Amino acid sequence: MLRTPTDETRLRILAWLKEPGPATGGVTADAVAERFSMPRPVAVTHLRLLEATGMLRTSRSAGRVRYHRDDMRIAEVARMFEKGW
């Protein structure tokens, strides 16, 4: 699940969510699909994989799922890889 596709889409999603605008209220799958020019089902797959690994958390707003970075978990995973895990 931690494998990234060769185009590094998941890393680009995480980087985008670190920017002030998207990070404020989280983003929807529709916003990710639009931003990265991909079909919504593909965006949902990427977001769910990032959520499953704990790098994203979700909230609901107006009946829509919004995705947010979990910076503590991202730092934890980065430390594991730095240690050669």
Q: What CA–CA distance (Å, rounded) separates 35 from 33?
A: 6
Domains identified in the chain, total number: 1
Does some domain include residue 75? yes
- Parent domain of 66: 11-83
Total-model pTM: 0.82
Q: What angle, 0 to 180 degrees and rounded to 10, lies between the N-to-C axes of helices 9-18 and 40-52?
A: 80
The pair of three-digit structure tokens given for residue 2, joined into one six-digit string: 């931690």
In a domain, 51, yes or no: yes
**Can you tell me whether residue 84 is helix, strand or coil?**
coil
Tens-digit pLDDT string for the chain (85 aa): 455 555 689 989 999 999 888 777 899 999 999 999 999 999 999 999 999 989 999 999 889 999 999 999 988 888 887 887 6
Identify whether the C-beta of residue 15 lies closer than 8 Å to the C-beta of residue 71. Answer: no
Q: Is 2 contained in some domain?
A: no
β partners of residue 59: 66
